Amino acid sequence: MHGITNARLDAEVLLSHFIGRDRAWLVTHIHDTLDGETDRVFEAAVQRRALREPLQYIIGRQEFWGLDFVVTPDVLIPRPETELVVESALKINANMSRQVTIVDLCTGSGCIAVSLAKKLEESRIFATDKSGKALIVARENARNHGVSERIRFLEGDLFQPLEELDIRGQVDIIVSNPPYVRSGDHRTLQPEVRDYEPAIALFAGPQGTEMQQQIISAAPAYLKRHGVLIMEMGIGQSKTLIRMVMEIGEYHAPEVYKDLAGIERVIVAEKK
């Protein structure tokens, strides 16, 4: 239907959401009829999905790292592969003190920062984003998961909001899922991404690595000795990013981790 691969599944998810029942309940009540208001809301939602609006924006939620996150068109929809950033940070933290300082750049919905705050209860986290609307969503997610006191959200581009905090040389871990799509790839994206997700969170520039370059260059000033930069990347970007890291001269040779699909997805660089 309308080019949607899992149209039936999406319809079931929408119906489950609007009637407040799980899909197992739907199977046993397949012949039940909807009341007029529920039927109207459900049909409107189906029409939105037929226009390729993402399911997550319609229901306003997305699961990430086992947690339920509020999402709106002001934030990128959290992807399963981004969980590798969280996983990598937790593994690295196991070799650090419990009271770590973490910076999350381009926080968006706050999914990385909130997930880490839930696991690392003694952590101090600063999360930045240049979209004020995205930060409204991130703060809501932090409140929903009871970690607002451990995350300070700051509006501004990358490290710029941190300049007033005097935390240079004090950060243990920097995490980021920055924009990494080439601006020229706009037409190749699925309609759900191209037409609905915020361009500010997707497109980095003509090369697709412009934001990552800025982060790699600026991160050493904020990291402690042996502090670590963990950053998500796009398909085919690993060689370029490894070269960028090595050219800076302030990191050890980076490691690259693959996601569950076998795609090189996260680069990890330790400051010398």
Could you report the per-residue pLDDT of 210-266, keeping only the tens digit for each? 999 999 999 999 999 999 999 999 999 999 999 999 999 999 999 999 999 999 999
CATH top class, domain 72-270: alpha beta
Terminal CA-to-CA distance of the chain, rounded, Å?
Answer: 54
For residue 166, the model assigns a pLDDT of: 87
Q: What is the pLDDT of residues 71-130, one digit of tens each?
A: 999 999 999 999 999 999 999 998 887 789 999 999 999 999 999 999 999 999 999 999
Residues with Cβ < 8 Å from 142, sequence gap 6 or more?
A: 110, 113, 114, 117, 148, 151, 153
In angstroms, rounded to a whole number, what is the distance separating the alpha carbons of residues 202 and 179?
5
User: 264-270 and 181-182: which strand pairing?
Assistant: unpaired
Question: Which residue's entry shows tokens 């690993």?
Answer: 238
Closest CA to 230 of 179, 159, 175: 175
Statement: residue 68 has pLDDT above 90: yes
For residue 22, the model assigns a pLDDT of: 67
**What band does 36 get if pLDDT is binned at 50, 70 and 90?**
low
The per-residue DSSP string of 145-203 comes to: TT-GGGEEEEESSTTGGGGGGT-TT-EEEEEE----EEGGGGGGS-HHHHTTS-GGGTE
Write down the pTM of the prediction: 0.92
Q: What residues does CATH 3.40.50.150 cover in the chain?
A: 72-270
For residue 212, the model assigns a pLDDT of: 98
